[in-house]
Amino acid sequence: MATEANTAFKVMNQEFVKLDRFDGSNFNRWKDKMLFLFIVLNVAYVLDPNLQAMEDPAPNANSEEIAKVAELKKKHEEDNFTCRGHILNTWSDRLYDLYMSMQSPVEIWKALEEKYNTERQGTDKFLMMKYFEFKMLDIIPIMDQVHKLQVLISRLCDWKVIIPELLQVGAIISKY
């Protein structure tokens, strides 16, 4: 247990763990980074909605089995605490205050996915509208505009809206 705590401490002190504050506008990016962090910390299993509750040892269990179950329960509680803490600590103050009363990281995770996946439906339409209305302007450097269009296409891909490459090329040509 002490080795895992030391590993987690070392991981959290690395430069690559500097996560962006989640303010509600970058859910997919934040979610992917958090899942990566949880996998590295070996606590990702806590978010599994199909995770079975820990059972108490059988009444005729020996002291070794009872100790093992107690150790597993303690680890699960610590991992829940770690997971919840990391989720809440990467949020803006507004979101932190809103969700801090939830004790279960699974409950928090489900609430977020439900909220932002529902918002996705409106975002899909908005992003598609922006894509179709995108126009190239002579006063702005062409590479800046192509980059802006690529970012828009990338955001659409994040939402699983696939635009074939041939259509993208045709769109760039027709928008100029």
Query: Cα–Cα distance between 83 and 157 in angstroms, integer?
Result: 28
78 and 39 in one domain?
A: yes
Q: Write down the mean pLDDT value for the chain.
A: 81
Q: Which helix (H) or strand (E) holds 62?
A: none
89 and 34 in one domain?
A: yes
- Number of structural domains (the chain) is 2
**What's the pLDDT at 62?**
84
Domain of residue 143 covers 134-176
Determine, yes or no, domain membership for 126.
no
- By residue count, the chain amounts to 176
**pLDDT digit string, tens, across residues 122-135:** 666 677 888 888 88
Residue 22's beta-bridge partner residues? Answer: 91
Query: Cα–Cα distance between 19 and 91 in angstroms, integer?
Result: 10
86 and 169 in one domain?
A: no
**pLDDT digit string, tens, across residues 130-151:** 888 888 888 989 888 888 888 8
Position with higher pLDDT, 55 vs 75: 75
Query: Cα–Cα distance between 35 and 47 in angstroms, integer?
Result: 9
Given the structure tokens 């070996």, which residue do they identify?
42
Determine, yes or no, domain membership for 172.
yes
What's the mean pLDDT in 30-38? 90
Amino acid in position 30 = W
Listed residues 73, 88, 120: the one ending a domain: 120
165 and 139 in one domain?
A: yes
What's the mean pLDDT in 20-37? 84
Position with higher pLDDT, 42 vs 154: 42
Contacts of 73 (CB under 8 A, 6+ apart): 54
Q: Which residue in 82, 13, 71 sits closest to 45, CA to CA?
A: 82
Determine, yes or no, domain membership for 128.
no
Tell me: pLDDT of 54 over 80.
no
Determine, yes or no, domain membership for 129.
no
Helices (H), the chain: 2-12, 27-40, 63-89, 93-99, 105-133, 142-158, 165-174
164 and 86 in one domain?
A: no
Determine, yes or no, domain membership for 35.
yes
From 2-11, 32-41, 139-148, 154-163, the region with the lowest mean pLDDT: 2-11
